[in-house]
Structure 1
């Protein structure tokens, strides 16, 4: 049971990291100016 719980925790962690990367990528590419790209890329995942 411990192995399954550890695998589940690792998978959840990887999925969260992938979601943060995807939202950061989206935020960086949606902005029109350089400053807006940085702001959206860095903060969009917190919304």
Structure 2
């Protein structure tokens, strides 16, 4: 991502959506291509 200067953001609303409706990474990447790692949406 950094190498290609791609500015990606994971919005809090997206994280809330994932909490309510878990998606597999393939389906999620289809709609919003980004890497999802442990973040503020996890306790």
Give TM-score, length-normalised by structure 2. Answer: 0.24
Bigger radius of gyration: 1
More helix by share: 1
Q: Which has the higher contact order (CA 8 A, sep 6+)?
A: 2
Give the structure-1-normalised TM-score.
0.24
